[in-house]
Structure 1
Amino acid sequence: MLATGDDQRPFVGQTLWSGESEQGAAGLAWDWVFLPYGVVALVDPLSLVTNLQFLSADGEVLAPMESVRQLNEIVHSLPWQHEVQRRLSSH
């Protein structure tokens, strides 16, 4: 996690999640913002960066816009918001 911010501007940062699979390394990154009342949100749910490739039921590669839904489901299933809140509270 990388973050910047101060009393005048909200904290913003980037998060990178990565792991190994049978096919090799996989990664997913996104920008976030720390909003009032401790809310951490994606800056832009359409601007996730990844090396993952999604396939249709027929084995066809999904277009980027079709993959965005899959990527957002992955991000929302990860405990990244709690980790951001924890790290920022230690500053």
Structure 2
Amino acid sequence: MLVAGDAARPSTGQTLWFGESGHGAAGVAWDWVRLPYGVVAMADPMALITNLQLINTAGEVLAPMESVRQLNEIVHALPWQSEVQRALGVH
């Protein structure tokens, strides 16, 4: 989803990254905002939406705060900003 901005408000949108495996589909979604100078950032790094359940090396489900930290590391490793810039028509 993309909402083009103007002089009064920035462009905003939502990104969804997903993949399929033998266990089914997995995805992570987040809202983003285009800041001054064309910088694209997550609108709220704590507001990730996912169907993933992360576990530690002992097989225990991670606490919500630890899951958010791990998911943020995953999101920051993805080339999503360049895809948003492409969708916005920014080079």
Q: How many pairs were matched up?
A: 89
Counterpart of 2:74 in 1: which secondary structure?
A: helix
Deviation at 1:69, TM superposition (A): 1.0
Matched with 2:40 is: 40
Matched with 1:83 is: 83
Deviation at 1:89, TM superposition (A): 1.5
TM-score by length of 2: 0.92
Matched with 2:9 is: 9
Q: C-alpha distance in 2, partners of 1:89/1:14?
A: 16
Q: C-alpha distance in 1, partners of 2:61/2:9?
A: 40
Query: Identity, % of aligned pairs?
Result: 70
Q: C-alpha distance in 1, partners of 2:74/2:14?
A: 16
Q: Which amino acid aligns with 2:73?
A: E
Matched with 1:60 is: 60
| Residue-by-residue CA offset, 1:1-25 (whole Å, 9 max, x unaligned) | x111223110011000111012110
Matched with 2:31 is: 31
Matched with 1:22 is: 22
Q: C-alpha distance in 2, partners of 1:81/1:57?
A: 31
Q: C-alpha distance in 1, partners of 2:88/2:62?
A: 36
Q: Which amino acid aligns with 1:87?
A: A
Q: C-alpha distance in 2, partners of 1:52/1:74?
A: 12
Q: Tell me, which stretches of 5 or more residues in structure 2 are unaligned?
A: none
Q: CA RMSD in A?
A: 1.1
